[in-house]
Amino acid sequence: MRKHLYIKGSWVEAAEYRPLYSPYNGMNIAEVAYANEAEVEQAIAAAELASPLMARMPAHERASILGKVAVLISERADECAHLIALEAAKPLKAARAEVDRTAMTYQLAAEEARRIHGETIPLDAAPGGEGRIAYTIRQPLGIVAAITPFNFPMNLVAHKVGPALAAGNTVVLKPAGQTPLSSLLLAELFEEAGLPAGALNVVTGSGSIIGDILVQDARVKAVSFTGSPEVGIGIRRKAGLKKVTLELGSNSALIVDQGVQLDKMISRAVTGAFSNSGQVCISLQRIYVHELLFNEFVEKFVACTEALHVGDPLDPYTDVSALIARKDVERSLEWIAEAKRLGAEVATGGVSQDNVVHPTVLLNVDASAQISCSEAFAPIVLINRVSSMEAAIQAVNDSRYGLQAGIYTNDIGTALAAAERLEVGGVMINDIPTFRVDHMPYGGVKDSGIGREGVKYATEEFTELKLICFKKE
């Protein structure tokens, strides 16, 4: 199966193709186009040509196209889920959930396309503003570069493509090298839905080649990137005056206060730690439990973890499958070994089979260990005891990241204080930090990035605010 580039509404043969292998069993899935500089230039030129048409397209037409895509995804949900499981090794039941969310994200984008608006400005609120009427409008930026990761290959694409098109922009999409197939299917669905040629272009291949061109080309007016802080910081430096939205990951933490009923939240916490093998930007990686509950929490958490089914992502019963690449398996095992050298105890897991790291629970992890300081992006979670809420909040904040955090507590004062003091973009009270629905504002502080996703907020990011002022006389 050979997969071409999608440029200007057509499937374009590339000069080079490379094999794509399953992360789970190494099977050759497809031969995928590997775009060169000239081919990326074609995609940008196509997006530029289509830009005036998209900017003039009535909001209801943009909404209709996005709504049709949502319906088409739902109609082909099984095919989409199978493709995600195949290329990303995401367990099938998690892939199905992602497909459902993807359809919802495009539906939300369709709704946002209909309600992009400005406001009137009372200029006479300041001396000298008398006799004038002013209002604002939001206009599309032009070309948006969407650079997406492997872990949610349909829904994180939707969070960039949907809002960009809703606002009247055109898009050049660079999907992750391991998960291009679902993005190429998306191009097919948008074509079927009636999107004008050139409004969406999909170029696959090297991130360093394609990404650098997109980030530095003056015709591209905005870059939306999800990935590592190192790459994101490089994008920010190269982008100049472009709008840049960066979602750069985390080592998300959960606080469990004394008095919490554990039976109501253990399975939820286990899901947050090990869903998609921990390859989630807001995966639960650090848990700080009050010392009065620590032993009970660990016992129940480990038992629930050991009940997870590990195996083939295409098996509908699988909970945890392969990591995206062998190097991530090796890194995960190195981090576990380092934590042990620093005094941590492995309560369960700590081993791998082929590209699958078994769900791993570490206890009493030193704050200097990589598994505490850095983003694991693997099925590893640490559980440490704390003596007070003050100590727990300090431990959570002792991180270069700040995407989301969670706290379980029965005390409203404790919840409100934690909500104010936790240095993150979102605080989930009586829930895990892994909670996300697709219309909420989503993004972080510190090295977790800049800007906000969530369909409404991303749509605003992809517009320019313009003031229009009339002098009455």
Active site amino acids: 247, 281
Taking the C-alpha atoms of residue 169 and residue 174, their distance in angstroms, rounded to an integer, is 16
Taking the C-alpha atoms of residue 462 and residue 65, their distance in angstroms, rounded to an integer, is 18
DSSP string covering 306-325, please?
A: HTS-BS-TTSTT-SB---S-
Taking the C-alpha atoms of residue 19 and residue 2, their distance in angstroms, rounded to an integer, is 9
252-280 in b/e form (b: 16+ CB < 10 A) is bbbbbbeebebeebbebbbbbbbbbbbbb
Burial class (CB in 10 A: 0-12, 13-18, 19+), 67: middle
Taking the C-alpha atoms of residue 173 and residue 349, their distance in angstroms, rounded to an integer, is 38
Over the Cα atoms of the chain, what is R_g? 23
Do 373 and 395 meet the contact criterion of CB atoms below 8 Å apart?
no
Residue 209 CB coordination number (10 Å):
17
Q: DSSP 3-state assignment of 1?
A: coil
Taking the C-alpha atoms of residue 70 and residue 135, their distance in angstroms, rounded to an integer, is 33
Sign of the CA dihedral 295, 297, 302, 307? positive
Residue 13 CB coordination number (10 Å):
10
CA distance readout (Å), 320 to 150, 315, 359, 431, 453 = 16, 10, 8, 21, 27
Tell me the two tokens of residue 378. 């693997």
Sign of the CA dihedral 316, 322, 323, 325? negative
Q: Give the closest residue to 383 by CA, choosing from 423, 351, 347, 410.
A: 347
Tell me the two tokens of residue 162. 């949907």
Q: DSSP 3-state assignment of 190?
A: helix
Which DSSP category does 219 fall into?
T
Which DSSP category does 175 fall into?
-
